[in-house]
Amino acid sequence: MSFRLLVCLPTYNEEDSIVLMIDQLRSTGYDFVVCDGFSKDDTAALAKAQGVEILARKHKGKGWAIRAGLDYAQANGYSHMATIDCDNTYRVDDIKRLADCAENGQYDLVVGERPFECIAWHRRIANQWISWYTNLLWRSGTRDIVSGLRIYRVEFYVNTLKANSFDLEPRSLALACKKGWRYTSLPIAYGERLGKSKANLVELLRIMWGASHEKFTK
């Protein structure tokens, strides 16, 4: 299959940034969809008013959003799927850099590596701990395990990624290590978010569990 990219934008209560992100994604020329997770604000209505296709998740959780995106990508003939968070922290221009890397290097997973100095100190500590722990288990050498900007090879991940929430990032890397898939990371830009962060202690524990789960299952 020739290289063909879909961008999946997972959302949950992102009314402060959804229109801006849609405008930015349109400028890339890539096809994209919004996968909304039962938002309680006007996120879905704003996206629909922009004429964007909205995918429904089976349940709440970022992992379910990415899995819905992968199903859609496979059904519509896309070879790869990019994900980007809807908080305006990532730059859409970096999608092309990661896409070119995936296509030219024939990678199955490409992770955008954020500059940690641009991340709030408490989140930076959590991210570094997660990355240390995941690399202890998998020796991946990847510096930023939980980056929300990445590209997946659809045929590899569509039936293997079983993450439900924020555990999807470490689990997707763990799968690549476990199955011998080709993966790499590239430095990307990172800025201040719009809206409220969804990260909390429960999600941190889910991420840690995600890093471990693939290690101890077939």
The pLDDT assigned to 143 comes to 83
The pLDDT assigned to 142 comes to 87
At position 148, the amino acid (one-letter code) is: G
H or E element in which residue 142 lies: none
Q: Which domains does the chain have, with CATH numbers?
A: 5-216 (3.90.550.10)
The SS3 of residue 19 is helix
Q: Which residues are CB-contacts of 27 (< 8 A; sequence separation ≥ 6)?
A: 92
Tokens of 106: 């024939």
pTM for this structure? 0.90
Neighbours of 18 (CB within 10 A): 30
Tokens of 92: 């859409």
Output the tens digit of pLDDT for each of the chain's 218 residues: 799 999 999 999 999 999 999 999 999 999 999 999 789 999 999 999 999 999 987 778 889 999 999 999 999 999 999 999 998 999 999 999 999 999 999 999 999 999 877 677 677 787 788 888 887 888 888 888 889 999 999 999 999 998 888 889 999 999 999 999 999 999 999 987 665 655 566 667 777 777 777 776 76
The pLDDT assigned to 141 comes to 83
| Cα–Cα–Cα angle for 146, 100, 4, rounded to 5 degrees | 95
Instruction: Give me the sheet containing 109-113, strands edge to edge.
Output: 54-56, 31-36, 5-11, 80-83, 150-153, 109-113, 183-187
CB under 8 A, 24+ apart: contacts of 142-145: 142/111, 142/113, 142/173, 142/183, 142/185, 143/113, 143/185, 144/111, 144/112, 144/113, 144/114, 144/116, 144/185, 145/111, 145/169, 145/170, 145/173, 145/211
The pLDDT assigned to 197 comes to 59
Q: How far is CA 57 from CA 36, 66, 122, 177, in A?
A: 7, 9, 30, 27
